[in-house]
Amino acid sequence: MTSNDHTEQIKATEATAMTEAPQATAAPQATETTETAEAPGAAERRERRERDERKAQRLGMARTFGLDIVGPIALYHLLTNQGWSDVAALVTSGALPALGIGLDVVRGRRIGGLSLLVLGGIAISIIAALLTDDPRFVLLEGAVTSAVAGVFSLATLLFGRSLVEMFATGAAPEGTEHSLRTRALFERDDVRRFARRVTVVFAVVFFASAAAQAALAWWAPIGLAFAYNRFGFIPCLAVIAVGGWVLFRRARARGELDFPEWDATSNAARRRES
């Protein structure tokens, strides 16, 4: 509710109190009783939803590090130590992330664009293994998927929703308070313009990562190149976070991105400190 709406509500309440004093006195008491009875239940439901969201985030992070990063690297070294060829070990260990996607399907979760990209990379590595016995061609699947991600990032700028908006609105569970707030936030033109700028940062980082993965796949040791294919997204996310923060501060300084609630909180905190 804005300050104008709040002022108008106060004026309407005062007018009602002047004309119907007994009824106005009784109504707030009934409202207060109702809010007192409903508040504990609402607070408990909100806390339960927040706990469920935090639990889902922790499980998602554990699955990512277990099946997408640590698991494939460990499995690759285990298989090569057992005498497997590099190609067979790369394809087998590289397919491990598909297990996590399968678990999501079993749990009734929809397959998003990122999961489809992972499955596409696995398919590329299998095709490369069938066409050639060179492990370096198999390793190129990382560069190909990163390049595709960069192209897709730029392609989203041609449509209504940018990549950042897709990520932000898709990450929040449907029907939750967080989901509603996020969708309402991206109805603002200034937020959507900022999201498009950050999407360009995503694209640039994806293309740079594709170049690095291709160079490692061709010249670096097989194990090192495969390891980078698995955890290389971590430094990429760090660069994206820094770039997004710089763009955010610049947009705020120029008045291109407005958050009155944050400004009011910051001003109140500064007044208390002074």
pLDDT value of position 94: 87
CA-based nearest residue to 232, from 218, 220, 216? 216
In angstroms, rounded to a whole number, what is the distance separating the alpha carbons of residues 156 and 195?
Answer: 11
CA-based nearest residue to 97, from 133, 142, 53, 52? 142
Written as six digits, the tokens of 118 are 């992972």
Place of tokens 């664009």: 113
pLDDT value of position 95: 86
- The single-letter code of the amino acid at 13 is T
CA 29 distance to own-chain centroid: 44
Cβ partners under 8 Å of residue 49, min gap 6: 176, 177
In degrees, to the nearest 5, what angle opens at C-alpha 241 toward C-alphas 68 and 181? 90
In angstroms, rounded to a whole number, what is the distance separating the alpha carbons of residues 272 and 274?
Answer: 5
Q: What is the pLDDT along the chain (274 residues), one digit of tens a residue?
A: 444 444 444 444 444 444 444 443 344 444 444 444 445 576 677 677 777 777 767 776 777 778 888 899 999 999 999 999 999 999 999 888 888 788 777 776 667 777 788 888 899 999 999 998 899 999 999 999 999 999 999 999 998 789 999 888 876 666 667 778 888 889 999 999 999 999 999 999 999 999 999 999 999 999 999 999 999 989 999 999 999 999 999 999 998 888 766 554 555 555 566 6
Q: What 8-state DSSP symbol labels residue 173?
A: P
- The single-letter code of the amino acid at 129 is A
